[in-house]
Amino acid sequence: MDIEKICEFGRATIEIEAAMISRLTHRIDQKFAKACQYLHDCRGRIIVMGIGKSGHIGKKIAATLASTGSPAFFVHPSEAKHGDIGMITGVDVVVALSNSGESEEILSLLPAIKRLQAPLISLTGRSHSTLAKAATVNLDTSVEKEACPLGLAPTSSTTAALVMGDALAMALLSMRDFNEEDFARSHPGGSLGRRLLLKVDEIMHRDADIPIVMHSEPLKNALYEMSLKKLGMTTVVNDQGQLIGIFTDGDIRRTLDNHLDIQTTCMHQVMSTHPKTISKELLAADALNLMEQHKITSLVITNTENHPIGIIHIHDILRAGVV
């Protein structure tokens, strides 16, 4: 088989599935809105079920719902028949996936779901199937053609179910006014979570790790403090311990170019005044933005009395995975 023939099969698969998915837009109607309302009003959890390939799609839908503000989990129908049905309560909503609508494992659970009086939303490829008729709301995910050239392997049908599940999740996201910060709370280990949740206070250098010299001290003391604390800078404070300046590696080069004596030159003569500062309550991402804006690599964290209480370096932010 030549390369072009292989590519033709790949393109045909995508084109067929895209065509089948596009037809779903006409099925976003009152039934869809009703299903969303049941899910939105759910006082318990959204229980997603499916067997075989539909089960794999169901797991993805449950994960998407859970990560976008709608608590959900997947229950395997076979396991439900042997005790896991106890995970479902009357305040839950069940979402069942079956292309045929006749999956025996799901149909056998219908009496138990009915006794619980839990709303049942089905995603089926046959609107007159047993599951579709038993559902509180049935969403039509039927397709005219599978992408499989044999017409056997679930392809377009599973993609359609997945897309309908995504449509439900995104509609619910909007109904709940779910935002980026809410999403980050569901993904604390991801880069988005770190960017939106990690605060300066959590990664700043503090206490004895803060490089500090008095404004009246000689330059040599600042060089020693910078070498000891290894942050490429030191803060400069007045007699009351308030921040009045900063001295960086760049300032060292400028000082040496001027042939100043490190033994007799005082810090107030060579420090950079009006250093950039940030509050410890702000996000590390805000600190990064400020550094990029002013082309600097460190920020001083001060308290309400303008005393330096921390230092955050760009390397701290990079190590934290904010970017």
**pLDDT tens string 114-169:** 999 999 999 999 999 999 999 999 999 999 999 988 877 899 999 999 999 999 99
| Sheet with 137-140, edge to edge strand ranges | 72-74, 46-50, 93-98, 120-124, 137-140
231 and 302 share a domain? yes
Average pLDDT, rounded, for the chain:
90
Q: Rounded to whole angstroms, how far apart are CA atoms 288 and 311?
A: 13
128 and 16 share a domain? yes
130 within a domain of the structure (yes/no): yes
67 and 171 share a domain? yes
The pLDDT value recorded for residue 177 is: 82
Is the torsion defined by CA of 49, 52, 53, 59 positive or negative? positive
Look up the pTM and report it.
0.65
- In the chain, the number of structural domains is 2
63 and 141 share a domain? yes
Residue 110 has pLDDT above 90, yes or no: yes
Is the torsion defined by CA of 16, 17, 22, 25 positive or negative? positive
Q: Assign residue 290 the CATH number of its domain.
A: 3.10.580.10
Q: Which residue range is the domain that position 268 belongs to? A: 200-319
40 and 160 share a domain? yes
